[in-house]
Structure 1
Amino acid sequence: MLAGAPSSHMSSSVSTSQGIFPTSRIGSGESPNSGASSFTQPIADMNENDETDLLSISWNQDYGCFAAGTSHGFRIYNCEPCKETFRRDLKSGGFKIVEMLFRCNILALVGAVANSHYPPNKVLIWDDHQSRCIGEFTFRSDVRGVKLRRDRIVVVLEHKIYVYNFTDLKLLHQIETLANPRGLCCLSHHSNTFVLACPGLHKGHVRVEHFGLNVTKLINAHDSQIACFTLTLDGLLLATASVKGTLIRIFNTMDGSRLQEVRRGVDRAEINSIALSPNVQWLAASSDRGTVHVFSLRVRVSGEDSLTQPNAFQGPALFHQNSSSSLDPLISPNTGANPNSSLSFMRGVLPKYFSSEWSFAQFHLPEYTHFIVAFGSQNSVIIVGMDGSFYRCSFDQVHGGEVVQQEYVRFLKFENRPK
C-alpha cells in the first residue's frame, strides 16, 4: 500500500504496512515472533571477541543510549552504566545508519553497501515490538542521514532533505541544501517546538526552520564550509563549527545573532561532534586531534511563550520574559570562565586568537579516531569512539583543567586487527 505517493518530480517513494505505531521500550529482551523477519537475536556478552566491523555510532535523543551500526546488524547500548542492552544480527549485511527514537521500539535503519537486502538508498522504519518493517522510503541516491522526532521523520540526501509525518508517512516539506555528504541535520525535541537546522545553499550558511512559527532563518555562521552543528533540545540555540575546526560559534536561532565564540585551537582539525549540556552551561567538542574540549557558556535564553516546562531530558532552563521572541544573552554566575590569552588586553592589535576564549577543561584521547561526545548526569562527559571505546568522565566545574576518567569500557572488540 502506498502512503503519500510521490509526484513525478520527486526522487523518493514511500510504502507502509499498517497503522503506526505501538510503542514499548527497546531492549526489553523479548524474543521476536518466529519467522517474522530475517533478523535474529543471539545471546552474547558485550566483552566477547567480535568479528564485526563498526560502521556508525549515534546517540538517541536524550543521550542516555547510543546505537552502533555494524557489518552484521546493529546494537543498542545504555550509557550509565555502559552496557549492551539489545542487538540484532543479519546474514545479509549491516547498517550504516541506525537512528533511535528515544528508548522506544521504533528505529530508522539504512543499509550499508554490502547489505544485499537493504541498500543504502532505502530507509526502513523498523518496529521491534512487532519484529517487522512498518514503512520504507526509497530514493534515487544514497541516504546520508535520518533524524527522528515523535511526530516527524527527516531523511537527508546529499542535496535535499525530506520531512515526513510520522503517523502516515506523508511528505510535508522538501528543503534544498548545498552538497551535504556528511548528512548534517539536527532537530529540536521539545513536544511543542519543531526546529530543524541544516546546511543552507551557500558555503558556511546554516538554514534554521521554525516550523511551528513558519519562520526560516539563514545564519551566515562561517566563511568555510560547515562541518558540524547541534541544537539545544528546544531549538533556541545553535552551535556550529566549520571544516577549519578552530572556532565554535553559538547563535540565537530566532534572530540569527551570534551569542558567543570559543576557540578549540589554532591548527586545523576535523570536529566530529558538538554537544550542549541540558542546562546549557557547557559545550563539549570532539575532533580528530585527540582532545575533547569543554567550554563554559555565557549565554542564557528566553524562549517562546508557552514552551513546555523543561526537565533533565528536555533541555535548558528557560528564563521567560514578556517578549515571546526575546533571546537576550545573560551572564551566568554559576559556571567557571573560559581562559583567555594573557595578551587579550591587546584585542584588535594582535591576531584574533590572542583574544579568544579557550577551553575550560580537556580530556585526551587517541588521535585520528572518530569520537562522539555528550553530557550525562551531573554534567559528566560521555565519549564513544569508532574504535569501540566508551569513556565516562567528570570535570571540576569551578576550576576546570584535566577531565578525570570515571569509566572505560571496550564495548566492541576488534581482535587480530590493527587498532
Structure 2
Amino acid sequence: METTAIFTANNVWMMVCTALVFFMHLGFSFLEIGLTRQKNTINILFKNFFVITVGLLLYAIGGFNLMYPGFEDGAMGIFKFAGWGIASPENGMTTAYADGGYTWWTDFLFQGMFAATAATIVSGAVAERIKLKSFMIFAIIYVGLIYPIVGSWKWGGGFLDAMGFYDFAGSTLVHSVGGWAALVAIYLLGARIGKFDSDGTSRAIPGHNLPLAAAGVLILWLGWFGFNGGSVLSADPALTSLTLVTTCLAAAAGGVASAIFSNFLYKNFDLTMFMNGVLGGLVGITAGADQMGPLDAVIIGIIAGIIIVLGVSLIDKLKLDDPVGAVAVHLICGIWGTLAVGIFGAMAGFDQFLIQLAGVGIVGAFCVITSFLIMLLVKVISGGSIRVEKEEELKGLDISEHGMDAYADFRLNQH
C-alpha cells in the first residue's frame, strides 16, 4: 500500500511538472511577441503553435523511441530506433517502470514537452524575416530527428552517458541544441532591414510590448519549476526541494547581475537585459541544478548574467541579428551551465570539466553541421531562399504570410 501511494505521488508530481513545461510555451510566445514588432505578432504565434503541436505528434510517431531506444550493453550508443509509435510496455503502468517514479504515458508526455522547446528557441532568433514554410520544414526535421538523436546520447543511455557527461535537465541537450541551430539560421538569413547602418553600426529595433515580454519571462521562470523540478523524475522531497532552490537562486542572481553589469557598461537600467539575465541564470543552472548548493547556484547565476550582456554585444559585433537574444541566453549560457558542472557542486573536478567540455564540443559540431545541411535542403525546397522578399518584410509577416492583423482597429467598425 505504501509503495502504491509513493508511486501515485511521484506520478502526480511529474504530471504537474509536465503541465508547467507546457505552460512555458506561452511564456516563449509572450517573450518573442513583446521583443519584436507589432506587424509580426501573428507570425510568431503561428510558429509557436506549430512547434508544440507538430513537435508532440513527431515525438509520438517516432521521436520518443529514437531518443530512448534501449541501447544494448557494448553498443556504440550513437544511433538506434526502437520502432514507430508509443505503445506502452506491459510494465509501463506499474512500479516496475522507471523505478516507480512515473508511468510510461507520463514519461512520454513530459519528455515530449521538452522536445518542442529546441525549435521554439530558433523561432525567436529568426523572427521577422524567415519564410513561414521554411521554418516549418526546418522545425519538423530538427525536432523529429536531430533533437532525439542528441538526447539519446545522454538521456537515452548513449555514448555521452557512458563517458560520464552530465546534463541534468538540458543546458546542452535542450538549450544549446536549439541555440546552435539558431546561430546557424541567423547567419544564413542575414539581419533584418534597418538593423545595421551602412558602416556596420548596430541600431536597436525596439519590441512593441515590453509588458508582454516581461509576463513571458515570469511565466518561463514559473515553468522552470517543472523543467528542472520534473527532471528529478520523482517527487523525492530532498532532491526536488534542492533543485527548486538552486533554480530560483540562479535566476535571481542572473537577473540582478545582468542589470547591474549592463548599467555599469551603458549607464542605463535596461529591462530587456534584466529579463534575459533571469533567463540566462535559469539556463546556466539547468545542467547541474541537482548537484549544486545555494552559493554555487548564486555564483553560476551571476556569471550567467554577466555573460548575457557580453554575449548580446558580441552577437551585434559579429553583425548577426537575434531579435530576442536567443543565442546569448540559450547557447552561450547553455555552454556555461554545462561547464559549470565540472567547476562547482558535487561533480566538480578537472576530469569532469574535460568531459563536459568534450560533450559541448561534440554536440555543437553535430548540431552546426546538421543545421547547415537542413537549412540548405530547406533553401532548395523553398525556391532558393529561406527569407521573405523585402516588400513582405517591410509590410510585416502578419499581412504578407497570413493576411491578418494581430491588433484589429475596432474604431473602423464603429458607427
The structure in which a higher percent of residues are helix is 2
TM-score by length of 1: 0.29
The structure in which a higher percent of residues are strand is 1
TM-score by length of 2: 0.29
